[in-house]
Amino acid sequence: MTKKEYGLFSLPVIVAALGFFVDIFDLLLFGVVRKPSFRELGLSDAEILTKGELTISIQLIGMVIGGIIWGIIGDKFGRLKVLFGSIILYSLANIANGFVQDINTYIIIRFIAGVGLAGELGAGITLVSEILPKEKRGLAGTIIATCGVLGGISAALLSKVITDWRTLYFIGGGIGLALLVLRVSVAESTMFSSLEKTGVQRGNYLQFFTNKDRFFRYAKGMLIGMPVWYCIGILIFFADEFAKRMGISGITPGNAILFQYIGLGFGDVAAGLISHKLKSRKKALYIFYFIFTVFIVLFFTQHNSSPAWFYFICAGLGFGSGISVLYIITSAEQFGTNLRASAATSITNFVRGFTPLLLLIFTQLRNYNSIGYIKGAWMIGIAVMLISLSALYFTRESYGKDLDFVEE
């Protein structure tokens, strides 16, 4: 079979990029509308905090489950099947979210949206990694990441123009359904199509646990991405709570998300370009770990500062965590074609799924009088960075790796 040459701005890359736009739009939308939507449903200020943590945790658990399911489907039946199925499910869930009248239904629908959302990024990265020349994979990831960031920024900006949270959910669902039209013209990965004709076992999730080397590759793929969702799921989603305890007034989660994602946009572009320039995934990741650590220190040492400085640090945290696609590409490159979609899709969502665990630990730590809210988040941040650095140290360099191989 003759392999078609695809460029950086070919239709599959554009489709994957726009899919990530909707992915992040949907995921960040809850952070933006959490307070107004919960207030309309009759929750108190205390319930808005606790139910907010519960809702994002339930959605992320849905993403972990969905990541496993969509990954298996992607390896057994094709990357495109996932791209169609996932976008339909989470778009319909978004539309349904606009009709909810009680908090329990709200939480259930966010779980369903999480399951649907889980397939998008991993399948898109897998498809693009398999069809592009190996030297362009990192640059394609930059394009995809940039579109995802624009999705986050759009969610924050739209919330300032459209104040009705139900309408925002309808818009998110409508954009997702509109993307289906573009996907009709996208062809399946030739690597997968060729593998499909062989007798090689595909999409057996248990294979990750039947070989020691493969299991550790899988675990390290999850651990190197932890800083991204420590940043989003704790520091940014609950930025107003941190600001309150730091003596900083006028901070809203929506603005924190906006500035963080502006920084993330520049960070994702820079990470892809640096990885390409240095011809190394690992060196680029080390650089961004360092930048992220600097801004964590700045975040926790600001007290009684101005809102402008607080939002600048949010942007810096976003820039430093600008590895949101690079770590997934790195993880996908570690595995053979018969397990690559399962790896990329499940790793993406297990990283996101660490957030409920981190929130649980955070809740326990902050309830100790000797630790509290700020110090508890500090302690989690230190642990996350040490774990991620250790995992990256033992991860194999994958820049320029030939991906046409299988896991035995």
Q: How many residues does the chain have?
A: 408
For the chain, the maximum distance between any two Cα atoms, rounded to a whole number of angstroms, is 66
Mean pLDDT calculated for residue range 401-408: 88
Report whether 11 contacts 182 (CB < 8 A): yes
Q: Cα–Cα distance between 334 and 346 in angstroms, integer? A: 14
Could you write out the DSSP letters of every residue in 273-312?
HHHHHHT-HHHHHHHHHHHHHHHHHHHHT--S--HHHHHH
CA dihedral 365, 319, 353, 50 (to 10 degrees): 50
Domains of the chain: 11-184+209-393 (1.20.1250.20)
pLDDT above 60: residue 3: no
Summarize pLDDT for 308-336 with one digit per residue, the tens: 999 999 999 999 988 888 898 899 899 99
Angle at 65 between CA 210 and CA 230, to 5 degrees: 95
Q: How does pLDDT run across 370-401, given as a tens digit for each residue?
A: 788 899 999 999 999 999 999 999 999 999 88
φ and ψ at residue 286, rounded to 5 degrees = -60, -45
Residue type, 119: G
Residue burial 162-175, b: 16+ Cβ < 10 Å; e: rest: eeebbebbbbbbeb
Backbone phi, psi, residue 169, to 5°: -65, -40
Q: What is the pLDDT of residue 299?
A: 95
The label of the residue with tokens 């997934």 reads 328
Q: Which residues of 26-62 are buried (b: 16+ CB within 10 A; e: fewer)?
A: bbbbbbbbbbbbbeebebeeeebbebbbbbbbbbbbb
- Which pLDDT score is estimated for 222? 93
- Is the Cβ–Cβ distance between 373 and 242 less than 8 Å? yes
User: What residues have CB less than 8 Å from 10, skipping those under 6 apart?
Assistant: 131
Mean pLDDT of 269-276: 90
Q: Give the end-to-end CA distance of the chain in Å, rounded to a whole number.
A: 23
The one-letter amino acid at 170: F
3-state secondary structure (DSSP) of residue 221: helix
Would you call 305 exposed, middle or buried from its count of C-beta atoms within 10 A (0-12, 13-18, 19+)? middle
Q: How many other β-carbons are positioned within 10 Å of the β-carbon of residue 372?
A: 14
Instruction: Look at 212 and 30; give whichever has higher pLDDT.
Output: 212
* Confidence tier at 4 by pLDDT (50, 70, 90): low
pLDDT of 1 above 70: no
In this predicted structure, the answer to whether residue 71 has a pLDDT above a threshold of 60 is yes
Looking at residues 163-167, what average pLDDT do you find? 92
Q: For residues 199 and 12, is the Cβ–Cβ distance under 8 A?
A: no
Q: For the chain, what is the mean pLDDT?
A: 89
Q: In this prediction, what percent of the chain has a pLDDT beyond 90?
A: 48
